[in-house]
Structure 1
Amino acid sequence: MAEDSGQEKTEEPTPKRLQDAKDKGDVARSKELATTVLLLASAAAALMFGGQVADAMSGMMEYNFKLDRQAVFDSNLMFTHLGNSLREAFASVALFFLIMLVAAIVGPLGLGGWNLSLKAMAPKFSRLDPLAGLKRMFSLKALLELFKALAKFLLIGSLSFLVLIGSKHALFALGAQDVMPAMSAAVELVIWAFLIMSSTLILIALIDVPFQIYDYTKKLKMTLQEVKDEMKNTEGKPEVKGRIRQLQREISQRKMMSAIPEADVVITNPTHYAVALKYNQAGGGAPMLVAKGADFIALKIREVANEYDIPVLSSPALARAIYHSTELEEEIPTGLFKAVAEVLAYVFQLKRHQQRQGPAPRELGGDMDIPEEYRKDE
């Protein structure tokens, strides 16, 4: 939809976009980095174990070619020599190939990390499309790969020529040496030349890695509309979230209204605010707020209170203080204990008087003892 509107992809990919691409097996990779790590590891392994491998191979050849007359005519000895030779060859190159294996695994993980994706392993018949294949062959990315291959060829070729020129005296000296010393010197020359030429790929990798990161990020960039659509899908559409909040408020209000018949008193503003308090005399705790509301909700609280004969008292300052300082199903703060105690004492004495069990209570004073930090202006 964003592409149809002609919007440019100017926004950085979101974490969700990156994770979705990773789940599909699409992560930034650098073939040059993997190749460089593998070649450098091969050269280092050859330097460390090349001499041992050469000695082992030389001993194996001597073992197989220096045979006495009886061994030559013994056909069973052929299999013994073969088994010993294979075992010796494997033991001599085991560490070398182990280093190669580790490098082959670690190299690709240098950029993009470990990523096992079943979606990437699933067969895609679209890759068999010859037109798509031709399109990839003549794409800008293929052209860049061609230039990169030419740059590697020129760089390695030039360095190889310089290494050859620099080693010409050592190469000419091989002809004047005995066979074994000449072979050892030749192997050492080849290994060092291989290490030097492999090191040139570090330059290619240093250029290719940032380019692959840039190209990968550019490919996953998003339009502003795509970002908005993703936020809607992730967090929910605003109208749906609004409807959910409305339903939650309605449920909360119904629960609150059902708790009003159990209240001991409703304190009002008298019209803007209304709070309903319940005090459990047996429990010994502080009075609890079971309902509160402003404007229309305050009117409903008063209506329910009148319906169930809950005393409704007007104390604007106290009603505002409780409304702003206390949440539903919480005890009132200690600073309001004295004022609420006066109200409850009046209510309980009024109930006893109505039951003809005591004298009529005195009217509550208009100025309640409310600390300044709890006072709220109208």
Structure 2
Amino acid sequence: MAESEGGEKTEEPTRKRLDDALKKGDVAKSQELSTWFGLAAATLVVSIFADGTTASLGQTLTRFLASPERIAVDGASLRAMFGGLGLAVAAALALPMLMLAFAGIAGNMVQHPPIVTAEPITPKFSKISPASGFKRIFSVEGLLNFFKGLLKILIVGIVIWMVAWPERTRLATLAESDLAGLLPLLKELSLEVMVASVIVFAAIAIADYLFARHRWRKKLMMSLQEIKDEHKQQEGDPHIKGRIRALRQQRSRKRMMAAVPGATVVIANPTHFAVALKYEAGMNAPMCVAKGVDAIALRIRRVAEEAGVTVIENPPLARSLHAALEIDREIPAEHYKAVAEVIGFVMRRRGGR
């Protein structure tokens, strides 16, 4: 247990730890999953748009091959020709490129919600340090990425061989085929390779994402001491909170003592309780301006006597008022009669009505 409370990270990350990581752009991300989305989108683009895009670009470029001598080479004509060519190519490739861009975004969106942060691009010396770069290359993660790259090359090679080997007879005749027969065959073989790669890479991408998420959560694991420190930051250090509470009580006591000279009467027992009440014409009921027990009660009495405020000793009433009253609150109705008799007595002593 002592070791766990120290530096060993045995606890699941808290919600705050996960949120802080997301704010910094530290998320579980699999590059293989993003690659799979791009490969799947490319396969879809080839299967849907290959014929139409090829035909459109073929029509646009035919005149460059069929009759190049008719192309005007003056400045205005060249600008118009290249402008039209650019628009034609952009129109033919717009939808396929849009699908590929959407696949790239989707590959990241399915792994984590959108995050806007400058943390990953913030300049840091560790990012340009040769020592840090060397450690990254030859770290465990660098070796894992290296072997993953080799595995992908091996898998792609096996997929291409499995698709191409049954077609070896047809591939041998490609050199003798005309262009019209060559393009459909290449498209067919390309699609077979891409579909097979998509199927195989789906398993690789899922496994890599689960592994990346496991490593990410393991990296964010916390020790018991880190959890305690986090609770202290969120709830406040008990020592600091105690100090703040003491300062507030001290200020409140000073304000209370400052109000004692303006009280009408202080009701007390000889040593333990003291309650200072204030009553003026127009008030609904007398109000408590100060109260205390023991040392504070003695201090209230001393301040009252120094200011000429009448102190009445009535132990039962002092105890009940102390228990029932809060500072700056009117006395409850059940004490009206007893307090009225006391204040009436004080006013008669002062010669008031």
TM-score, normalised to structure 2, is 0.79
Inter-partner Cα distance in structure 1 for 2:89 and 2:61: 11
Aligned to 1:85: 85
Amino acid at match of 1:190: S
Provide the secondary structure at the position in 2 that maps to 1:200.
helix
Q: Percent identity?
A: 36
- Cα distance 1:349–1:83, how it changes in 2: closer, same or farther (>3 A)? closer
Deviation at 1:255, TM superposition (A): 0.7
Query: Residue 148 of structure 1 corresponds to which residue in structure 2?
Result: 148
Q: CA RMSD in A?
A: 3.9
* 1:210/1:305 CA distance change after superposition, 3 Å: farther
Distance verdict in 2 for CA 1:170–1:140, change over 3 Å: same
Q: Give the Å deviation of 1:204.
A: 1.9
Per-residue CA deviation, residues 72-107 of structure 1 (Å, 9 max, x unaligned), is 6x4346665443322211111012212222333443
Q: Give the 3 Å change call, closer, same or farther, for CA 292–206 of structure 1 in structure 2.
A: farther
Using the TM superposition, give the Cα deviation of residue 31 of structure 1 relative to its aligned residue in structure 2, in angstroms: 1.2
Partners in 2 of 1:68 and 1:40 — Cα distance? 39
Greater displacement, 266-275 / 164-173: 164-173
Aligned residue in 1 for 2:309: 309
- Distance (Å, rounded) in 1 between the aligned partners of 2:21 and 2:31: 19
Please state how far the C-alpha of 1:182 moved relative to its aligned partner: 5.9
The aligned counterpart of 1:291 is 290
How many equivalent residue pairs? 348
Is 1:213 the counterpart of 2:213 in the alignment?
yes
CA deviation map 1:162-207 (0-9, x unaligned): 4446778998999999854763464255235424412432222222
Aligned residue number for residue 239 of structure 1:
239
From 340, 343, 346, the counterpart of 1:345: 340
Structure 2 residue identity aligned to 1:60: T
CA contact (8 A) 1:265 1:278 kept: yes
> Residue 29 of structure 2 aligns to a residue in which SS?
coil
Q: Is the 8 A contact 2:136 2:142 kept in 1?
A: yes
- Measured after TM superposition, the shift of residue 342 of structure 1 is 0.8
Q: Which residue of 2 aligns with 1:49?
A: 49
CA pair 58-275 structure 1, distance change in 2 beyond 3 A: same
Code of the residue aligned with 2:60 in structure 1: it is M
Alignment CA distance shift 1:345-1:283 (3 Å) = closer
* 1:368 alignment counterpart: none
1:64 is aligned to 2:64: yes
1:194 aligned partner: 194
> What residue is the counterpart of 1:370 in the other structure?
none
SS in 2 for 1:75: coil
Equivalent runs, 1:1-378 vs 2, <5 Å: 7-14=7-14, 17-18=17-18, 21-22=21-22, 25-67=25-67, 71=70, 74-76=72-74, 80-164=80-164, 180=180, 183-184=183-184, 186-191=186-191, 193-232=193-232, 236-268=236-268, 271-284=271-284, 286-307=285-306, 308-316=308-316, 319-332=318-331, 336-337=332-333, 339-356=334-351
CA spacing shift, 1:311–1:159, aligned 2, 3 Å: same
| Range moving further from structure 2, 271-280 or 239-248 | 271-280
| Partner amino acid, structure 2, of 1:329 | D
> Unaligned stretches of 5+ in structure 1?
359-378
Greater relative contact order (Cα 8 A, min sep 6): structure 1 or 2? 2
CA displacement 1:314-370 (0-9 Å, x = unmatched): 253x545544444322334xxx30x32112321332134324567xxxxxxxxxxxx
* C-alpha distance in 2 between matches for 1:269 and 1:320: 8
Alignment CA distance shift 1:300-1:46 (3 Å): farther
Inter-CA distance 131–350: structure 2 relative to 1 (3 Å threshold): closer
- For 1:167 and 1:328, how far apart are their aligned partners in 2? 96
1:319–1:348 distance in 2 versus 1, CA, 3 Å: closer
